Amino acid sequence: MKNILTGVPALICGLLAIAAQSLFGAGSGYVAAANTYDAAVDVHKTKRTRTNDAAVSARHLLWKEGTTPGTTVALCGANDIPLGTIDNTESSTGIAQDVLLLGRGMTKKMVASEAMATLGVNVYAAASGKIALNGVVKVGVLRTTAAADGDVVEVEDCVPVVQPNGKATVAGGTLAIPVTRRIASKTTGGAEALTLADGLPGQQLTVILATDGGDGTLTPTTKTGFTSIVFADVGDTAHLLFVDATVGWTIQGLSGAAAPPTFNA
């Protein structure tokens, strides 16, 4: 009886195989596809291999997808989405590198762009592959301190998220509104034609006229629903959201001490 019961599953499998061949043909593509459907897709636990578009001048810097996404990496900037860090140096380009993925595995070593004295604060992608206390793309939480620019710190890293913070003070005569902070506080030094570069999808920005030296007319590179916003009085404020490279900046709200700033459709 035991031998008979043991042979039943094998018999059933054999009958199913015969039925499949009858339906789809022996050696059919259906069966092959079922066995190889995901063969071309690799999964990665803590790192991925990429070749470097630029020399790796220092260890522990942040790198982003490069000129050939999925194959190369380039040094990350303040308004880029990093892929991970490279714990290596390499003077040549096109050399395979292990990129330690953010939000995966152990905590990461990163390079500070400034002094960092308080543990447990959020840190953000900064210029030249470093990290800063303020920025647009959050990469983790600080776990060791830095005395100065260039110090290596430990970061409890996370999957990068667009989460701007901090305030930039923009002086009169400076026409470019920065996209590296959550708030831009502007002083005008006369009538000024202000510019605003593209941000990252989901990025929010608040522009405030702090000191009125003349009307500031803001014209973003990419926008939808308006062409420009005129900041005429102290307290004029615009809340903006960057949707994507096609839609660009959109107005989420306008307010002012006396009346909100005007916008041109």
Q: What is the pLDDT of residues 45-101, one digit of tens each?
A: 899 999 999 999 999 999 999 999 999 999 999 999 999 999 999 999 999 999 999
Give tens-digit pLDDT for 139-148. 999 999 999 9
Among 219, 165, 166, 214, smallest CA distance to 187 is for 214
Residue 248 and residue 176 share a domain: yes
Instruction: Write down how long the chain is.
Output: 265
**What pLDDT is attached to residue 230?**
98
Residue 227 and residue 195 share a domain: yes
Residue 154 and residue 210 share a domain: no
Q: How far apart are CA 80 and CA 57, in angstroms?
A: 19
Q: What is the mean pLDDT of residues 187-205?
A: 97
Q: How far apart are CA 88 and CA 83, in angstroms?
A: 15
Residue 97 and residue 58 share a domain: yes
Give tens-digit pLDDT for 102-118. 999 999 999 999 999 99
Residue 156 and residue 174 share a domain: no
* Cβ contact 139:163 at 8 Å: no
Task: Choose between 154 and 32: higher pLDDT.
Answer: 154
Does 8 have pLDDT greater than 80?
no
In terms of residue numbers, what domain contains 25? 2-36
Residue 60 and residue 138 share a domain: yes
**What pLDDT is attached to residue 149?**
98
**What pLDDT is attached to residue 81?**
97
Strand 192-196 and strand 216-220: the pairing is parallel
Q: What b/e readout covers 64-80, taking b as 16+ CB neighbours within 10 angstroms?
A: bbbeeeeebbbbbbbbb
Does 18 have pLDDT greater than 70?
no
CATH of the domain at 128: 2.40.300
Residues 6+ apart with CB under 8 A from 258: 233, 235
Q: Cβ atoms within 10 A of the Cβ of 84, count?
A: 27
Domain count, the chain: 3
**100 assigned to some structural domain:** yes
Give tens-digit pLDDT for 217-265. 999 999 999 999 999 999 999 999 999 999 999 999 999 998 999 999 8
Q: How far apart are CA 182 and CA 207, in angstroms?
A: 9
Residue 103 and residue 155 share a domain: yes
Residues 6+ apart with CB under 8 A from 35: none
**41 assigned to some structural domain:** no
Residue 83 and residue 108 share a domain: yes
DSSP 48-82: EEEEESS-B-STTEEEEE-SSTTTEEEE--TTS--
3-state secondary structure of 22: helix
For residue 71, the Cα-to-chain-centroid distance in whole angstroms is: 18
pTM beyond 0.85, yes or no: no
What letter represents residue 69's amino acid? Answer: P
* Cβ contact 143:156 at 8 Å: yes
